[in-house]
Every structure is written in structure tokens, then in C-alpha cells.
Chain A
């Protein structure tokens, strides 16, 4: 089928120096992947690697003359033009290989009133992929908007590249989290690196200066051989890109669970700062305005990545997909960033869009659909790194570090001059029209002529069937009550040590020390603190950010699990003294075609929307990642929630360290015997069953108000949230961070007190003279408060039970990850 459509092109291109075999008939085959004809894979791997090194060495040189890059004489003609499509209505098209079903293809025919050209098919197939169209999730995601709490702070909501919130004092903040899961399994370094690069461009395209990144990472079992490969590459990729780009990495998560063994989760968050009046939009208004493609050259990177990599389950074929992973160039992204800052400062664009998944297809259709409605593009003007690329490939290429701007004719010269200053290739490739059509030409022939909104906004919407997974009842019935609990002092002590050194709870410095957290000079708090805190505009205002997710809780109860993730991120932000303001989310799930997964998704979205409303924090944007599964086994549903908070004065932020002798330790919140999905059950027994901790959003809001008020009044020396691993883990982390021990008294049931994961709890350390004030604040907010001990000494002591020297704790807590991965 495929050969038919590309036959003319192949004949022409056959003589090119790239020497394509007949297998490489065009983009369609690459996207389809997996078939026996997919022999081009090896060639592309080699090609991609070569490109990396050549491009890197010659980066600067290449950039300066790229604008004049000449296409070799006599590019292939005989492309599948609109005229040809009209003449050959019955020609077979490889829509199935492109991930499109019969109904979707029929719909394209209906829209166009003819068969699509191969270029049009490329556009529709990527734009209607799950990744770009959210076709399975859209009906559910509406709930975030329908149930959104009233918020005066929201300047730009869902649907744009990233949401924007007003943080006061003339500043706005834009932030978003996005997944790059599948590429990070295939090629961990580049997958993770380009995940960072992609989210940074989303922030950039809002008109903001990116100021920090965070990464939420999930891997398979720490002792599995492949985990080392994936973790090493992902961490190097996150660091290699972010460090070279000059963005501090201020937090995130590192979690291990067998369910992520062949499907790691790499969720990257970026936050940017701007003035509210400088917000940019992804629109193309004003007929006659020029469309400029700028940034890196277009090559055969990740062709079809959007629809193949993001929408197909991994199996033994996955290695064939290696060439679909994009290659990142953080240096180009740094140039692009500084170039954009100067362009924005001179107000030279009327619309801007980053190129991510679906590349030029996505940028042109979305810009045109959101603007005057029409756009003419000469695809032949797109500057190429590989001169043999076909138009379909140019449309689908996911080459990184590219942006598309809409610029008034009078500003084009200045725009290009600034690009020249930063050695950023920039080319006018078309202009805005009022025709209502997106038209593209190639060698003078029209190869695309579509209403852009039909590709960008009017993709298929599925209400996929859902029902609870068959094993859910059994899972929930198998509660942790049957697990033997430690009863003697020695058993309690051993449990503390065991958890302190468990990979999920152990010190993550092995990972985080590979990231630059100091660059830009505005990092006030960074991991392992509860939230990253960044100063804005040289102060005193600032922001706090935390991401959290718990796939184990969500597996047991997806509605509650999503709420618990929000609850924890909210708590983490409040623990630094910041007022929680807005939410972003990355929803990582298995296949939407599995009714059990779809049920988990629907429940999680419903739960999250309700919790956002209850806590008064709107969802500003996010990302859905489906098809996270191995064979037919999905990952634990893993919504990762990012919460943004505001500090009116970052000098009043509160850290987690116990670093002043004699401080009183107060426990805020109520502890119940809650062990379903707990780290204790996980670490000691490998058990997952029962129900997760009870959600209590009112208690969470009350706790948050106490933490924020306490920080504002300056009456708390330290605060640390209680979550995975419970009180034991929180206390030992604060002790090790500050270098001082503590002695606490837990008269009730020390096991429950130490290891329960009940929500809405925190420990705070206060000077004795401030104790009454913090107690009063808590009581006024209805938050249970109890003095449990004192900071001091060099051991973690529970009176009447055990005393563990900090040195011993430090050894197991800090030694765990280096022993596994060092």
C-alpha cells in the first residue's frame, strides 16, 4: 500500500546519495514501524548518532550559514499533490500504519471531499493521534474546567502551551509538567534530555523566561539489571540538558516499583516568569503577517514519534523504534531562549508556538486555527539538515529546538537580525491569510489544502468504555491488617533502619547531585527540601513548587489516589510557608483501550477535579500519557501532581532542617492506623492491598493555613511534611539534614505513630518561646497539635524504645543509592 503512494517520489529520490532502499518508501513506513520492511531502522540509528556529533562540533558555524542552506538541484517532483489526489480518488493510503482507523480516515475524506494527499494524511494522522488530540481523555479532562474553583490568579488556563497565574507584585508565573516516558525507555539519555527541552519550550512560548526545572522519575526495581541502564541514562539526560541550558533543577521525585520495569516514567516540569502584560499566545492573526520558523534545522528526528512512540505499547519490537527518538541540543535551546528573550523584549511577535510532537504539522495547524484562520506555507523553505527529506517527513519531523513565530512584515528584518546575533537560523516560510485554509506548497505544487481547525481542534473524541479492573475487589479486600507488625523495641528500631535505607525512602543525592541547582542564583530551597523555592525579580517575592504522585495508592483507589497526590504536593508547598495557588498534572496510565485502565483514568480525573475545587487550586494545564504498559499489564495508574505556591517574602521560607538545639518538636494533624499502600507494607512485605489513607481535604487546607501563617509570623524554625514512611522517616530526614538528633515520646502505639501514612500531617520545630503561638494557631484552625519531643544530641531516640546514632542512620540512608547505582 505504502509503496503505491510514494512510488513517484521513490523513483525520483532513488538516485540520492542517501541511497534509500525500496523499503524506505517514505514517512509512512517509518511511522508504521514494526513491519518486516522496517529495515531502515539501523541506517537511521547510525545517521542519528552521526548527526549528533557533527552538529555539535559545528554548531556555531552551521547556525550562521544555515539561513542560506540550499536545497540540492532537482528535488523529487511528482509528489502527491492535491490535484493528483483529485485525479486518483481511489488510491490506497497507509492510514492504518499511521495509527488511524477506518472511521477516522473516512472522516478525513468527508472533511476534504476527496482523498487526502500523503502530506495531508501525515498531518491528520499525527494531529489526531492520542498524543496530540487527547481523543480518549478529552471527555474526562473537561471536568477540570467544569469543576474549576474560582481563582482570580488564573491569567491563562488549560488549552494553551502552559497555564499562567498572577503571583502578585506585577509578576506572573507559567508552569507545566509533561511526560517523555516511552522515548526514555528506548533511549534513556535522549528521551529524558528532550523531555526537558520540550517542556522548556512550552514555557518559552508563553513569553516567559524559564527559571527552573523539576523531574519526577519512576523506574523498575532497583536491583533489576535494566534499571541501572535506564536510570543512569535518564539522570544523565536530565542533567546533561538542564545543566547545559542553565536552568536550576530544584526538586522532583525518584521512585522505584516493579510496574515501571519496562515502562519508566519521566515527567519533566518547567516554570517560567514573566510580566502579565507580556503573555504570548499560539495564534496567527493578521493576513499578510509572516510565518517564521527559527531554531535548529529540520532533520529526520523522531519522525512519527508522536503517534508511534507515544501511542504504542512496548513489546519485543520496541528496539526497532530506536530511530524514532529525537536528539537534543541544549546549546541550541540556550541560544533560542536568549534570542526569544530579546525578541519578546522588543515585542516583535504577534503569535508564537514551540515545535514539539508533530513538529511543523502541529505548529501550523494550531497557529492557523487559533488565528485569522488561514496560512500559506512553502514547505520547500524549511531549512533542512538532511536535504533528502520528503515533505511528509518535514511535516512529521520532531527535530528539537525549533519555534514558529508570526511576525508583522515591518518587524521581520529586526527579528531576523536578533536571530543572527544569537546564531539562530530563521527563515520566513509563509504568511497568514484570510482564506480559512492551511495551504502548503512543494516545488510550486499544492500538497496541503485543509481547514486547519479540523486537524488542530476537531479530532475524534472517544467515550471509551470503562469498568473497574477485575482484580480490584480482591486487591482492596487484602488489607495490611494481616501483616505482622513489629512489636519489640528492637523490631521497631530495625524497621526504622530498613525503611531509611529502602530505595524509595533513601537519600536521593546520588541523583540530585548530578543536577545544577545553583545556576541563575535564585534558588532558595531545593531537594531534598519539601518543595523547590525560587526567588523572583531579585525578591522579596518567590514561588514554591512540588510534585507528588503515588501509583500504589492510586492502584488501590484511583479517585482517592489522585486526591492524595494533590494533597501531598499541596502540603509540601505549604510546608515551606508558601500559599498554594495552582496545579499542573501529568497523568500516566496504561492503555485507554483497556476498560480497567479507562476506569482508573476517569476516576482519577474526577477525584483530582473535585480535590482541586475543595482546595481552591485550579488546574492550569498538564499532559496525559496513555499506553504505559508492558504487554497487557498496565503500570500502576500514576497521576503526578505539581502544585505552585507563592511566597510574598522568600526570606520567611521554612526549611526542613533540625539545626537548633533545644527546639520543641510539634506534631500537627491526626494519626490513624493507615497502612494500605504504605511504604512499610511495600518495603517489609512487598505487599500492596487494602485501601490507601483516608483523604481529608479540609484537614489538609487547615494544616496548610497553619504552616503558612507560622512561616509568615516567623515562629517556626523548621517544618517537614509527613508522607511516605510516616513520622519516622520525616524525623530522621530533618535530623540528618540539620545534623542534630531528636528525642521524641510516642506513648500510644509507637508502630502506628512511627509508620502510619495518614494525610494532613507535618512536624514543625519551634523555639520554646514560640511553642504557645504555634499551638494557638493550630487550635484556631482546628488542627490537632501535640508536642512530641525536642531537637538535640546526635541520635534519633524514641523514649523507652530505641536510640539510633545519626551516623548509623546516615550510612544506611545515604549509602543505599550509591551502593545500587554508583
Chain B
């Protein structure tokens, strides 16, 4: 058996095909999920892809959180369903309060697209177990609202409980506090990540293939592959 990993398409989602391709390359079965449906179709995990849901004309992710499917998703996530939010997906997870903090305009005020070095700080989550703690990987980053912020108490909590999943190395591309590139919830099943591992799964098109680990991690977790 293999795992069924849902990929949600909101109006304005852009990296949904890429996320599905990454799921497939990792050996799982991608299942397209439509924002307006109310069912998760028995998927074993869900990816919220990058993009500009609803154009992000309001705060990024602020409208997507009200999509009919999100009610189901939030409940399922509380019950332990593994969820990975990438870029806009991370923004939606914060807006949905599945993850703390918020993503604001890059301090440079520019959209930034580059190959970015990250350090995996927590290799115990559902989405990072294929990595070693402290492992450095290079994956693309591309965003204009990628500056992670939270109040000091939340930051201290995230740091002390090991919930910073990945951190920027060499360059902090968007001014995120504590160089935070990704975080998880307390249970470790919900991970939000600003960089794009789904764009680093093939040598032909990515800066590396080191993003594949996020998708093989979930397969490991679900089927022990």
C-alpha cells in the first residue's frame, strides 16, 4: 500500500501541480482536493501548496482560511492528520491558528526568489524525519510576505520546545525573527515552511533534490517505507 496525500487547490494556488509531482516522486499517491468541497476524501496527509490564494489582496492566506474545506482540515489536524503548508500554505495555517505567529512583508520590501540554504532543526516531525537534525539543505525560496514574526513569548516557546523546524543559513532572505524558515505545532503533525521543498525534487529543474525528504518523510511515517 501507499499513502494518499491530498493537495488542496484554492483559487490562486500556483504550486499545486509541483506539490503533487513531489508527492508522486516520493512514492505516494497525490490526491487533488478542491477548496469548495467539504470532504478530505480519506487522504492520509495534506499539503497546502504555495501561491496567492484569492490573489492575497488582503493579508496572505486570510481568505483561504474560510474555504469550506478548511473547517474539515482544521478539525482533522487537531486529530493528528499530518499537514504541510508551504509558503502560501504556511500563511493559511497561521491564519487558521493551526500554527502561531504571522508572515508579513519581507523587510527588503521586494519579492525574493533564490536558492536558499536551510538547516533542519527538528528532524522528528511527520514531515522531516527523513533528515538528520542539523542537516543543511538547499531549496528555493520565493515570496514577498515571508517574514515570520511572533511575540517574544511565542518565540521563546517555539525555541524551547524545539518547534522551529528549519532555519535560514547564510542569508535571512526576508527578515524572519530568529531566522525561522519553518515551525510545527506541539504534536509535530502540522508543519509550516516558507521555502519550497517541492521545487527541489529533480536534478533537472531544482537547485538540488534535497527537498524530497519532506515528502519521503510523510511516506515513512504513514507506511513505514
Residues of A within 8 A of B (CB): 53, 56-57, 59-60, 236, 239-240, 243-246, 329-332, 334-335, 422-423, 512-524, 535, 539, 650-651
A335 engages B11 (CB within 8 Å): yes
Residue from the set A56, A246, A330 with the largest chain B CB neighbour count within 10 Å: A246
Q: Which of A245, A329, A422, A539 contacts B11 (CB 8 A)?
A: A422
Residues of B within 8 Å of A520, CB to CB, are 17-18
B86 to chain A, nearest CB (A): 12
**Chain B 169-207, CB within 8 Å of chain A: the 1/0 string?**
000000000000000000000000000101101101110
B113 engages A518 (CB within 8 Å): yes
B205 engages A59 (CB within 8 Å): no
A329 engages B55 (CB within 8 Å): yes
B58 engages A57 (CB within 8 Å): yes
For the complex, give the distance between the alpha carbons of A71 and B204 in Å.
54
With A60-B11, A521-B21, A535-B204 known as contacts, the answer to whether A513 contacts B112 (CB < 8 A) is yes
B12 engages A521 (CB within 8 Å): no
Residues of B within 8 A of A (CB): 11-12, 14-15, 17-18, 21, 50-52, 54-58, 63, 110-114, 140, 142, 144, 196, 198-199, 201-202, 204-206
A821 to chain B, nearest CB (A): 10
B113 engages A423 (CB within 8 Å): no
With A331-B57, A518-B140 known as contacts, the answer to whether A513 contacts B114 (CB < 8 A) is yes
Give the 5 A-B residue pairs with the shortest CB-CB distance, closest first: A331-B55, A56-B57, A246-B14, A521-B18, A518-B199
B14 engages A519 (CB within 8 Å): yes
A629 to chain B, nearest CB (A): 32
Residues of A within 8 Å of B14, CB to CB, are 244-246, 334, 519
B204 engages A524 (CB within 8 Å): yes
For the complex, give the distance between the alpha carbons of A535 and B205 in Å.
9
For the complex, give the distance between the alpha carbons of A748 and B84 in Å.
61
For the complex, give the distance between the alpha carbons of A334 and B55 in Å.
9
For the complex, give the distance between the alpha carbons of A408 and B188 in Å.
53
Residues of B within 8 Å of A60, CB to CB, are 11, 54, 63
Residues of B within 8 Å of A650, CB to CB, are 204
With A331-B52, A518-B140 known as contacts, the answer to whether A524 contacts B12 (CB < 8 A) is no
Residues of A within 8 Å of B52, CB to CB, are 243-244, 330-331, 334
Q: List 23 A-B contacts (CB under 8 A).
A: A56-B57, A57-B57, A236-B110, A236-B111, A239-B111, A243-B52, A243-B111, A243-B142, A244-B12, A329-B55, A330-B52, A335-B12, A422-B11, A514-B113, A516-B111, A516-B113, A518-B18, A518-B140, A519-B14, A519-B15, A520-B18, A521-B21, A535-B205
B193 to chain A, nearest CB (A): 15
Residues of B within 8 Å of A522, CB to CB, are 205
Q: Which of B51, B55, B110, B113 contacts A59 (CB 8 A)?
A: B55
Residues of A within 8 Å of B110, CB to CB, are 236, 513-514
Q: Which of B11, B58, B111, B142 contacts A518 (CB 8 A)?
A: B142
For the complex, give the distance between the alpha carbons of A523 and B204 in Å.
8
Residues of B within 8 Å of A334, CB to CB, are 11-12, 14, 52, 55
Q: A516-B142, A518-B140, A519-B18 are in contact. List 9 more A-B contacts (CB 8 A).
A: A53-B57, A60-B63, A246-B51, A332-B55, A515-B111, A515-B113, A518-B205, A521-B201, A535-B205
Residue of B nearest to A59 (CB): B55
For the complex, give the distance between the alpha carbons of A522 and B17 in Å.
11
For the complex, give the distance between the alpha carbons of A236 and B199 in Å.
23
With A244-B52, A514-B112, A523-B205 known as contacts, the answer to whether A331 contacts B15 (CB < 8 A) is no
